[in-house]
Every structure is written in structure tokens, then in C-alpha cells.
Structure 1
Amino acid sequence: MCCVFCESSFEKSAFMSYKHRHNTDNLCILGEIIGKLPIEGNVSGSKPELQLRVVKGQEHVTIENGTKQLKLLRPIDRDQGISKFEAIVECKSNNQDADFNQLNISIFMTIKDVNDNAPEFDAPEYQVMINEELPVGTIVFTDFEATDKDQPGPNSFVQYSIVKSEYSHLLDIPDAFKPIVTIKDRIDFEKIKEFSVELEAKDQGEPPKFSRVPLKIIVLDVDDLNPQFSHRYYTAKSIKDSVLVFEPEQISAKDGDQLNAPIGYVLEGEQSDKFSIDENGIVRVKTSPPPLSAVLFVVAFEVNNPERNTTAVINIHLAPTIRFQHQIYSLHLTPETPLGQPLLKLSVFSDKKSPIRYQSSSKVLTINELTGIVSLKAHSTGEDTVNVTATDGHQTAEASILVTFAENVDNKSTKNCQPKIEFLAKAYEMKIGAMPVLGTLKYPNEKRAVYKLLNMNRDFSVDPTSGIVRIQSEAKPQCSVCELIVMGTTDEGEITVARIVVKNPSFVMSVTSALTISILVLLTLIFTIILIIVCRRVHYVRYIVNADKDRYETAKSPIPKRAQGAHLVPVTVTTTDGAPTVYF
């Protein structure tokens, strides 16, 4: 008898997978059978045909005496770094005449992770002191966290909650993935001076595991109410003279008990050092340029008793203070275009009164630093993309100039006017609904690109990497059918533009606009009827004699011949996407 597998084809390796189970003492059951070797031949009795022995991995597994079963020698825990190992079993035949007297079998075992660890809090219990009569939503406790020792994944994702109990209705954890406790209901010192709730941390395993710790709350007595903000949330979208302009109104808070105690303010948050707030609630920018996006907490407190305070949220989302008139410009040049020829003038809009400075590192174009006039620096061939920046000393704006060098005026190659790659659709149709996401732009073959919205940025946005089109929060587009223009740039520098038609069912046209459109339609209809009546009575006949044939052919040519020594005249054509193209 020789060492062979049960399969018809001879193999020298076998693969096994073992999933450890939770046990009160060990993560795996000591001595558990985890597999049987698929080998032909008797290994038991007084005259066994085969002898099996583990020669590698014997610290983890062994062969059960008189069997072909692989047995676990010690507990194995994936969380301790052992995710897989190899064992080699030596198979010897007692038949000296066999074709194979000895064979080594490699067995590869993978340890699969299971949810065997519950989340653990960083303290066995917590205690916090809070003032009575805090407004609903006030953050009162954040100094706690739970971690899970399982491998990254659902088994280690932790969600927080407050266990339902007698006092659980007083507190809340608004976001289950963030360890933040807020006020949910009124807490009156005269009715309750202290109470406890249980914080629970639960993972997402199957089945889930959880742990709980007590949170003791001590209620402090106060003689009056805390200050109260006019609003819980404030939004800043613009700056005027370094002062943030807030919506729905300027930040203000007053004493809750109407004793008119003086109120002070302080800013808290990750970027609070870049702003300042005075005693009147006026927030000013301290850095230049200011952060375009930030979330801050403004705390209003009584000057004579800072312990009496309340908090509101500031959401800062500033629009750029400087921008080009167009994000993309296009130039079509010929070899006859003289060097130094002014080609176009860039226009920039800025909220600041400081002078604008232009800059570019192009080899074919030169840009006047002060005027923004673009001139030809050197001739080239094919296409080139020139990146231009403009700054007002506070912020910087960027634009692109697409330059096409034609071989000659009379025989232009149209292939340079077309992008080398296009979107999956030239025009996308989307509709505004209940969700902020409207749709997604894509290139063929999942080609990577950077997307940029060229218009209506106040109402819509496009994610630069994923191409997801969204409507801005609280945006109310003033159009029933909105047309967006999106530019896509691939890693190879290829640029193309797509049009998005967004239907806005919620838009309602004003009575004045509807009446104006109706009058224009009626006048157009009357003019069309009169024109049809006149055309039916008058007949026009053109006769072309042979002598005038050449002059007629010349007259109908759309492109006149340029006279020797004539100057090139720039002609600007604006397409439907708003990007100007200058021809010479």
C-alpha cells in the first residue's frame, strides 16, 4: 500500500479553513478535531498500512492516534495576530514494495474572525455635573469612549445608546456612532437632584455583543435661567469688512430670567482660533484667507457668573470672494498669428477693492500681470491647456485656456476641436426630488477624472472625484428647467464638457412672468400670421446668368479671402455653455 489521496488525480497539498468559536476559558476548544486527511489506506489496527506524523506546525495540531483526523493542540485567536499557518504531515507506507514509500502533505489553515469580543468602555463608570433647566439639545457629556478588540469590520463597529430606564427620557445620544450625550427633556433641580442611566456600547457582529456602564448625573441648583440664543443654529455664507454675515440673523443671546445680566461670548471648535467674537456677538476673521468651511460652537455666558452658559452651532460655508468670468476660455490660432498679438482679456470678479494679479507659466502664451491681457508668446502644434491664476491678496481663482494651433486657415483639421474622450452622455437629464443627490456623471470604461461645475454653484454642486451631482442644502433654484455645465479632466489632461438638464417641479412662476410670456407668445403668433399672408402674395425669383456665375459663387462664400497685408481681427463667439472662443 502506498500513500495516495482519495481523489483520482494525485495532489500533494490540501487546504483547510477553521473558524474558532468563543469559549469561556479559551477562544478554541482544546483537542477539537478540525479536519480529516483524504488519504487511502489503513492507519489503525495491529498491522497499519500507513504511518502519519506532523513534521511542521506540531505546536498547533497533531494526528489523532490510529486515525486520519487532525486535532487542535492549543487555543488559536486571530485577534492575537495568528490569521493562518501551515502544517506538514508525513505519510509513510509500511509496504516496502510500494511505488511511494513516503509522502509529505502540506495543509494550509486560515483562522476566520468571529465576534468574540464585546466593546469595552475606557472607564468602569462615569459622573458628570450639569445645571438644571438646560435647553433641549445641549451637549452635557462627551468624555467617554468604547473600543472593540475584534478585527476591523462589523465586529468592531461600535454604536452608543442609553438603556431604557426610569430616567432615560431625560438624556439622549443623537448620533449612535458618536459618544455625545445631550439633554432630551427638562431637568428641574426641585424635582430631581441626581440620577443615573446606563450607557450601552454594541458592536455590529452576528450575534452582536455589548457592554454597559453607569453614568451618574448630579444636578446643580441655579437661581436663574441660562442665557438663551435667538436661534440654535447660525449659518455664515459671506464676509463683509472681515465680519461674518449670519443667517437667519446676527448672533445674539439674552439672560433667560429677564434680569438683563451682561452676556459674553466665546468660540469653541477645531478652527475657532481663526475667528474672534466680541461682546455684541460680532464674529470677525483673524486669518487671510479665511477658512471657506468650518463648524464652530458659540458659548454665551453671564459675565458675572460664567457657569450660567448655553451653546449654539455656527456653520460657516463661504463662497469664494474672487472668480473668473468664465472657467474655460478657448483660442484657435494659425501660423499667421503674429507673436505678441493680444488674443483676449481675462475678466475677474472680486469682492475686494485690492488690485488683481494674474499669473501663468505657459510656454505659448504670456499674460500681463496687471491687465490680464493674453498675448501669443510662441507658436506650437496641436492642442495645449494653459492654467491661469488670479489673486486679490485674499483668495485665489483658477481658470483654463484651451489653445488649438491649426495648420492653416483654409484647411483646418476639425479633429482638434473635439475632445479625445467624452462623457457617457453629452446631455444628462435629472430631476430634483426629496433626496439631495440628483445623479452621477461617468466616463467610458470607468476612466478617472476630476469634475468641476462651471455655473449655478450656489444651488448645485458636483463631487470632484466621484462625479455625484447634488443640490445645495436650502437651495431654491429659480428655474423650472435648470441647465448645468460640467467640465471633466482626465489624468492624461483630456478635457470635455457635458450639459445637465435638471427639472425643478417645485418651481412656481410668478404671475407677472407668466403674463409677460403670454403676451410675447401672442405677439409672435400675430407676427407669424402677417408674415405668412405677405409671403403668399409676393413671389421672389432670382436669375443667374453665366456672366454673373463667378461673382455669385464668390458672394455666397462664408469666409472672405484675406487681402495681402491685412491685419488679423479677433472675433469672439460665445457658445451655449457660456465659454467664449476667439478666432483670428
Structure 2
Amino acid sequence: MLNMQTRRRQWRRDSRCYLRESSSVATFFVREDLEVGAVIGSLQVVGDPSERGDISLSLDRGDYAVTIQPGTSNITLTRALDRESQALDGHDGPSSVAVRVVCKRKGTSDPSIKIPVNIRVQDVNDNAPQFIGAPYTLNISEVTVPGTVVLQGIKAVDADQQGPFSTVHYSVIEGNYAEYIDFANGLDGTLRLKQQLDFEKVQQFRLTLRAEDQGDPVKSTEAVLTVNVIDADDQNPRFYDDRYVTTLPRRPVQGNTLTIRPRRVRAFDQDIGINAPVAYTFTADGADSRYFAIDPETGDITIAETIPDSELLQPITLVVKATQQDNGDRYALTTLTVRREGVFTDELQFVQGNYVASVLENRPVNSVILTVITNRPGDSRVRFFLPDEPSQFTIMRNGDLALVDSLDYETQDRLNFSVVATDGRQNDTAMVTIIVLNVNDWDPRFRHPSFDFVASPSSRPSDVVGRLTVYDGDRGDRVSLGLMGQDARAFSVSKEGDLVIRDLSVLNSSVAHLVAVARDSGVPPRRSSVPVTVRFPQELLGPSTRAESSLLLMIIFGVLLGVLILVIVTLALYICKYKKDRARTRRTSPALGAKVASYVNNSIPHEKLEAGSGPGSPRASHLGSLVVDLDTLNVDRSLGTTATVSRGSRRFARGAAANGSLRNPLANGGDLGSRSLQSSASSTFKPAGSVAGWPEGSIPKRVKKLSWEDEQNRSLRSVRYPTGHVKTPLEPTIQEGPGPQEHHAEQTELDPDVSVTPLPNTPSAELEQSPVAVYF
């Protein structure tokens, strides 16, 4: 015993191979870009792992991504790690490492100790975004209005963990044609048209798209977007020359074809891909045009009727119109000046007194808006100027009115000015009206590039945490605001831009991130977005969380309390029912004796009892005792009316009666009906040898009393039989409780450890007058 205690003390003092600071697991954090062969960390274990030390360290397996340097506690990396398990170089390393280090105490036979070691891999920006479905192709019509979304669904995925390393920003790399298309939002892969396209200038071009993450350093990838420009009917027909001149013959008769300079009147569709045919007509309804006719298909001009010598003494101007046959809204105009041969007038005049033109506000600078024409189109002495000097326009020497500055519908939607033609001696003036057409060329603009709000500790639903200020430069456009993002469900935004708290229960963090989106009412609509951050005090979100937890605990406690009450009620009902059944059993117990007596009477034949019970029978002088063990007597206590005796007991009774060992007390004229069957506790026996045929000591030492309630000290009462009853003493009558004449002041309980021996065969008057005692 002393040696055992000594060993236990030594075992307790030996703390080798245990981790310091009473730790059970060693944990290391390592970046996934750690080089192979680098030391991850040193295992803080009690003991010296060197060659001469008192412990040795090793791994339980050899297939780990780490190892322990011999003679040290340093854990070294043997295989590359990868937090995402999908490295770009194709080498997939483990995203976490869990090993077990085996520590062996030197100099002892103690079993080794296995120390769990967890190595957690931290994410680094080692993956670049990858475009899905690249390269991309876009077919776009040249009539698409700038600002229209032309392509959605461009997406790049970064394999790094959620956070800055996997947040992708999109852009178009600067270069040729980059001014045509850009991303509507850097965080969304939606492309929009930035500048008007023209099929006649460019039919196809390529753009380079870039997707980069927010890591440091940044990782990016590129994809190619091929844009095919589809020709559309966006161009009016055009004449080959701006103006034409013809001279009437000396005798202008009907049917003569006029010679036009500088060439025949011809027009073509500027939409090269469509090249729709055109039809020629005169636009003027004046009297002068009635003398001429134009072929709708060829444009040839002839004299419709003979012109009198008194007509057309002055030059006249005819306006020729070329209209697309498939689209009447597309047409072009030119002028044809007709004069008589040998007739000249020096009066300078504009062909039209008023010029009107409608121009989109995004019309490119240096575009020709219209051309003013005089009756001297070839006169080099004629000059044009603008006396009102509008800053947006200038007029060329040939009468072309060109745009020199951008138009703005929001500033001025109509311009009226005059143009003057002069040859140095004569002047003429015409009015010009320019109608500016609105274009949705402004994106909604937020006041700040991002919004950061801090909610007060007393904030509640329907409270305003801040205002999102946004405006649109297009006149008449209305801006509507919306919210996007995972935390957008907790807020709503009003028409005025107030950010209102709607439901704080959906937030799982004290910082809410969402995106505010502004959309205008222009055609097509434009939109923009900014990130919004709302910070909540921790105590503002805490009570609701604790309240939810308390409510859950109350519900669980209520369910358990209900189950407990149900169990208590069920147990109470069962106890009440059990007590009622016991009371009913006690009330029915007096009838049990009669049942037992009837059963015994039917079990022993009368002949055998009467044969050995005559007055002259030698066996009549002996008192037989019958001992019945309760183990062979089964009574159904629930019914209280059934008693059974085993087959062995019945055979024993019958055999005793046959060989004369069982005496019939009726042979001596005894009245069993007036006698009582005394219990073994109240009977006095004087053993005097063995009963004939019944060896001494055959009665078991333990004799049980026939009693339902031992704890109430109820003893068996006497069994009384009526006079002349022929049944055996094995048929007792059992009574519950003492009767009025059966109370005994003194009762002696038999010692269960003392053997009871049957009475001797010697008869006596006292025994013959005593009732037969039956032991159960």
C-alpha cells in the first residue's frame, strides 16, 4: 500500500508532456501564403525535447502538411496551404490542419501522451477575379440613345473569402472607343452607352474590361468585349450637292429637259447598310412651280408647260425634296435656282424669309444645323454674318449654320436670331429659329460619394437616421430613391430622401451596409448608386436580442412546467384509484374464507375422510396436523374471492387421509362449526416425537401466516365448521379481523427460525378436544 501511494505521488509530480498554462489544445494561426519549410510555431510543452532532454516529440502520422523538427518543439510547414483550396497555380493545399503530437517521457514506462494541435489558415489575397462567360459580344443599334443600358450580366467571381479580397470593381480600360461605353456602376456589371454611335463611322470595335478586387496589392483580370454596330434608319437622305442651278432655254416649251449644274439632281440614303430608295418632289406650292415637273424616281426636271416671255423674268428658287420610300419621316431638301438666259437682276434676296430647325441638345459640336440660301448661290461677293452674335452658332461663307458650342435644354430650349447676307452694296435679312430638344443626359447625382450615419441610442422604428441628398441636372426629371443590399430590409427611404428605420430585428450586426439607388424619370431612365453605412450603438440592439432569448427561455420553462403538472395530476389520479381498489378489496375479504373451504372440500374425497374417522379406528386417537405453506396457496387479492391450492398440496392431503395419518376430527364428535382455527402464534405445541408416517422435522422452519397486511399484525382466526360437516380440516373459513368472541389478549408469534415438529401419536383428552390447527 505504501509503494502504491508513493507511485501516485511521483505520477502527480511528473508534469512532463503537458501543455503549459494548463491548456488542452495547442492552436496556431498562419497565413495561407506561408512558404514551405517555414516554422509555424513552437509547441509550449513541459519538458526538454532535445536529444539529451527528458521527452521526445513526434507526429502520430506522416501524411500531415506539417512536421516537427527532430530534437525541437518547432512545427514546420511541409506542404503549401490554401484557405480556399483552389489556388490559381492548380496546387490545392489544405484549408486547415489538425494534427496530434505524440509526447514520450524518457526514462519511464509511462504511456505516451497525444497533444491535439490545430493550425488555422488565414486568408490572403491570392486569387484574382475571374470573368464568367468571357469574352463578350454586344450587338447594338446605332440609334440607341446615350445613357441606355446595353448589356447586363457581366460578372467576375473572386475565390477569396468574403470581404475586401473578394469585392470586385469593374471598369473599362482607357483606349480607342472607350468613350462609347462604360459601366453604370463600378460594383455592378452593367454596361451603358456613353456616346452616340454611328454605323457610317464605325461598324465594329473592341473594348477591354477590367475586374479588380480590393486587396493590397490589387489583383485584377481582363476580358475583351466586341461591339458590333448595327446600321439603323437614323440618317436622312442626302443630295450629292447642296444647291443646283439651271438656265431656261430661249424658248422654254413643254417637254424640254433642263440641264442642271453642277450635275443631275440626285440623292442617296446615308444609312449605308439600308440604302433605301428615295422619291423626288417639289415642296413649294407657289405659282412658279407649276411650270416644272420632276421625275419621282430619277429626279430629272422638265418643263411642264410652255413659259410665256413675260414670266420668270427674275430668278426663282425651287425646293426639291428627296424622301425615303420606306419611311416618310426621312427626307432631304435642296434648292434649284432657275433663271432666264440673258436676264440678270442685281437685287440680293434670301430664298426663305424664315428658317426653322429642331436640334437635340447632345448634337456634336461643328455639326451643320441648316444652310441659308440666296438667289446668288454662285456669287463669291456674297457674305453672311450673324448680327445678334449667338455664342452657340457661326455661319460659313457658303451659308452653312454650324454649331460651335454645346446646347443645353435646361438652360435654353429655343434660340431666335437673324442672319444677314450682303454683297457690299445690297443686304437681305432672314430669321432663324432653333428648337432645342431635350435629352436625358444627366445621371442622378448624390451630394456625397458615400454616406455614413450614426443612429442615436434612443432610435426606434420610424425614426430618421439621416438624409440622402440627390439631384438631377435634367430639367423636369423626377428622381426616385430605393435601397439595395442585405440590410436594406431594416430601412426605408422617403421621397425627400430621409433614411427611416423600419425594423431593427433583421439586423445581426451593429453596422448596417446598404446601397442607395437613384433613378430619374427621363427616357431612357438613368440611375446611380452610392454605398450607405449606418452604425448603431451596441446597447440599442442588445436588449432586443436578450428579450428574444428571455422569451425563448420562458417558453421552454412553460412547456416543462406544463409537462410536470400533467405528470403530477396523472400520479394523483393513479394513487386515488389505487386506494379505492384497496378499500374495495378489504370490504370483500370476509368472503375469501368460504371460497377456500369450498375449494378444499372439493379437493379431498369424502370416502377417504370417512374411512379413517370411525370411533374404533386406531387412527382416531391421533391428532393430525396439516401444514400448508403460503407459497403453494395463491390468492387473487384484487378480486378477493379466489383461493387455489397447488397440486402437490392436494396430493399430500389425499395421501395422508388414505394411510390414516390425517385424522378426522368429526369422528370424535367434535363440532368444527363451534371451534376456531387458531394461528400459529396463539397455539401451544409440545413436541413428543414423530407423528406416524410423518417424520420429525419435516415441517419447514419458516411458517407463513395467512394474512393480507403483515404490517397491521393481523393473525389468522379460527375456522369454524357446522355440526356434522364431513369436510376435512383443510377447508378453513378465513375471517378478516377479530370477531366479538375471538379476541385474545395474549398472542405469541412463532419464531420463523425455530422448527415446528408435529405432535406425537399419543392421544390425550386435551388434544382430542382441541381444534385442528392448520398452518399456512
TM-score, normalised via structure 1 length:
0.38
Bigger relative contact order (CA 8 A; separation at least 6) = 1
Higher helix share: 2
Higher strand share: 1
TM-score, normalised via structure 2 length:
0.29
